[in-house]
Structure 1
């Protein structure tokens, strides 16, 4: 087979490498072309060198090109994969820093909440540019695979306004299933059969079977509470399991941002989080992790390049959906996964226009969703709160409507539990002004926002958050890795 895959935001080096090696684990795909594109020539050069080394080491005919000209990369592409982070770490730092001034403590801030909503405002104009290029220069019927957050908002915009065949992809379901299989004592995650449905980052395991045996709520609670690690790291998720009756896919820290009951009081946050790793609830945890990872990669790049000389091991193919979807579409080997698509009746008690994440099957006819799923009422109610925020956020981003943007932020569950309307209005003004270079649709609103800020009497606080850690130096990271190696 010979076709072209374009990767937008290919400078996300580690993830691009994973997608690349996964796809090349499919024997029929060795003769395809990868077209990498990014706004950073530096990042492109690094990832192209790594992928060229992989191709050379494995003696493959695979073609790899790299360009900052996005239309050139997309020309003739059958598949387009996006893993962009618009505004990079600079804008992301504002997504965490500015809401903290108004008492909003986020662990990740890339899906909803104040940070996730502004992230969507930066992404959506760019997503629509991608879609325009796809319609104009990509192969007829090209499929757009979106990995970028905020997943639901980006996918919503691409489908509804970009008019491109789009699917959103995430690995939260797989990671949750691996946890459940582990606590139940399975030898392999493949022993667990499950139905998981909802919206991205709020997906629920509504049916579980281990080797054909149904697993109920009480057995799952007991298994998690008995686990020596997860009983400490996933306290919030276990509490939700007890109250809702089903387990959530999303990490302890991420889930805490969507459910306002756990993160609205600073003195309560420590009760529900765990500081053994960023993902369990640390203030700005993902920002710190992303910063450290980027610094580490830049410093240790020669080691990453050397590692690329190893043969591809198909046994280590990851459970990221992209390669499996492409394999199913191109070879007709059926793949079952969980995909972000427009609802259209798939989940009976969520809105038709919402972007849902639910089971589907892929073959040469495309992605076919399993329809007629009904969520438990509490799960649907929680998803609905986020869907309403997502819808307003998408519409605000399309129209450049700062008043609607403020209403979207106000209706966010955690923001609404922490901040007053006056605080929300000022916070959004401050975020739009700080991120104006990535928000072209709000250029007309920036002068008035600046004027309001100059006259505002709303008080803010200088606060690092309830559970903040400093970014570690390269020397500290080296020492920690050495200690872990010695201990292991």
Structure 2
């Protein structure tokens, strides 16, 4: 039977192009069926043209289809890859930045934690649960849900609690950071090995080795090199915690209370790019317009790049062929990290082969790493509780527990900001219904 891979959110054309070309460059997948789904017919059309061009360029007998019907896209699928963004750049992301800014809350990326991450999760979780229920009811037996949509930990935790299908959350921060560290030290990445564990975007290199030797002393030497001025937030966190974190300095600055809210001098000292995601989105829109034009031209040539380091295609290849691989995935904590909460979402090494996903046991993280992870897990759990129970008060509780928000705003401002965000997103039609609570309290009627 032909293997069916469904891509939901196929309108993210550049990312979709990488995933599809990654898959089709495996000889064993030359005859797979790729189903594209997006709610935007215009973007879906571009994605379909792109996919057909990739198939033609590679000269493989793979087939492709496109639909705006999510249930039909999932029907019979062996693998469902999700790359959706509920609310999009406008209005979703813009609201997540502009309203907090009125209250004096500055953000950099706002897609994983912080007030932006909380509200992105509340918009996104209901849609992911719908996808998961489709997989449960009409997907092929043992269909695997591969999620790329942020906020990763909150999304995966919610789907696990609400539906519980086979699922893995995928990010490129582990392999991307390992390459960055190799470059910083002038090492050949092929000679580097590492062991990482924690939570998404707050996982740590427990080991970083070059040809079997500990390379951490080389990283700490960079702290003494006045000429080295890269990744200032992450290197400062390494100085204080003893381990290097997986996600970028701009992300790390808004996951902790140590940087942004201490004023412009600290922001300048650590070169923290406030509103960075807004700039990236604007740039991506320009890129999208040109990409759309290029792809829709009848004689437009498509370039097939070498396979990327995204894990999605490798997971599918390992399950289908039995070739064993170790990837880094986001999975429920079933006693894997013993000093983090049970069934929170953890990121760690996962063996993949014909038997599927087999997460590895880590044991205890160093206590300071477990503590800083828990500071992020607290708002994650409260956000998921809000999404799954529909209790409005837990939205405020999640914001109260967020390290950056709590360090910046007093309680009345946190409440007012959340009220304004709820109202703005609700007007746009992207926000689920929540039970009312007595104004300025966490008590329900």
Quick one: structure 1 residues 96 and 225, their matched pair in 2 at CA, closer, same or farther if it must change by over 3 Å?
farther
Report how many residues are paired. 436
Kept after mapping to 1: 8 A contact 2:386/2:395: yes
The equivalent of 1:297 in structure 2 is: 288
TM-score by length of 1: 0.86
Kept after mapping to 1: 8 A contact 2:333/2:344: yes
Deviations 1:51-99 (A, max 9, x none): 1111122222111111111111111000001001000111111111111
Quick one: structure 1 residues 367 and 285, their matched pair in 2 at CA, closer, same or farther if it must change by over 3 Å?
same
- 1:227 shift after superposition: 9.2
The equivalent of 2:400 in structure 1 is: 410
- 1:268 shift after superposition: 3.5
Residues 1:266 and 2:263 aligned together: yes
Q: How far apart are the structure 2 equivalents of 1:77 and 1:227?
A: 54
From 291, 297, 301, the equivalent of 1:309 is 301
Q: How far apart are the structure 1 equivalents of 2:184 and 2:44?
A: 41
SS at match of 1:64: strand
Kept after mapping to 1: 8 A contact 2:95/2:424: yes
Quick one: structure 1 residues 152 and 408, their matched pair in 2 at CA, closer, same or farther if it must change by over 3 Å?
same
The equivalent of 1:219 in structure 2 is: 218
From 223, 230, 234, the equivalent of 2:231 is 234
Quick one: structure 1 residues 308 and 17, their matched pair in 2 at CA, closer, same or farther if it must change by over 3 Å?
farther
- 1:303 shift after superposition: 3.0
Residues 1:439 and 2:436 aligned together: no
Spell out the pairing of 1:40-55 with structure 2 (5 A cutoff): 40-55=40-55
- 1:286 shift after superposition: 1.3
Spell out the pairing of 1:27-426 with structure 2 (5 A cutoff): 27-89=27-89, 90-187=91-188, 189-216=189-216, 218-223=217-222, 226=225, 231-274=228-271, 281-304=272-295, 309-310=301-302, 312=304, 316-426=306-416
Deviations 1:434-480 (A, max 9, x none): 001111233x549x87xx8xxxxxxxxxxxxxxxxxxxxxxxxxxxx
Deviations 1:353-380 (A, max 9, x none): 2100001211101111220332221111
- 1:5 shift after superposition: 0.7
Spell out the pairing of 1:458-477 with structure 2 (5 A cutoff): none
Deviations 1:353-412 (A, max 9, x none): 210000121110111122033222111111001111101100101112111110111110
TM-score by length of 2: 0.94
Q: How far apart are the structure 1 equivalents of 2:433 and 2:61?
A: 43
The worse-fitting range, judged by mean Cα deviation, of 417-426 and 175-184 is: 175-184
* RMSD after superposition: 1.9
Q: How far apart are the structure 2 equivalents of 1:34 and 1:375?
A: 40
Quick one: structure 1 residues 225 and 296, their matched pair in 2 at CA, closer, same or farther if it must change by over 3 Å?
farther
Quick one: structure 1 residues 108 and 167, their matched pair in 2 at CA, closer, same or farther if it must change by over 3 Å?
same
Kept after mapping to 1: 8 A contact 2:259/2:267: no
Deviations 1:301-328 (A, max 9, x none): 3335679734645xx2111010110111
- 1:346 shift after superposition: 1.1
Residues 1:6 and 2:12 aligned together: no
Quick one: structure 1 residues 160 and 300, their matched pair in 2 at CA, closer, same or farther if it must change by over 3 Å?
closer
Deviations 1:413-442 (A, max 9, x none): 000000011001111100000001111233
Structure 1 stretches of at least 4 aligned residues deviating more than 6 Å after TM superposition: none
SS at match of 1:140: coil
Kept after mapping to 2: 8 A contact 1:262/1:268: no
Deviations 1:180-230 (A, max 9, x none): 11122212x2211100110000010011110111223x42121466496xx
Quick one: structure 1 residues 330 and 227, their matched pair in 2 at CA, closer, same or farther if it must change by over 3 Å?
farther
Kept after mapping to 2: 8 A contact 1:262/1:272: no
Q: How far apart are the structure 2 equivalents of 1:373 and 1:318?
A: 31
The worse-fitting range, judged by mean Cα deviation, of 299-308 and 163-172 is: 299-308
SS at match of 1:21: helix
SS at match of 2:285: helix
Kept after mapping to 2: 8 A contact 1:124/1:397: yes
Runs (5+) with no aligned partner, structure 2: 441-445
Kept after mapping to 1: 8 A contact 2:111/2:150: yes
The equivalent of 1:469 in structure 2 is: none
Kept after mapping to 1: 8 A contact 2:260/2:267: no
Q: How far apart are the structure 2 equivalents of 1:174 and 1:334?
A: 18
Kept after mapping to 2: 8 A contact 1:25/1:312: no
Quick one: structure 1 residues 60 and 435, their matched pair in 2 at CA, closer, same or farther if it must change by over 3 Å?
same
Quick one: structure 1 residues 159 and 292, their matched pair in 2 at CA, closer, same or farther if it must change by over 3 Å?
same
Runs (5+) with no aligned partner, structure 1: 275-280, 453-488
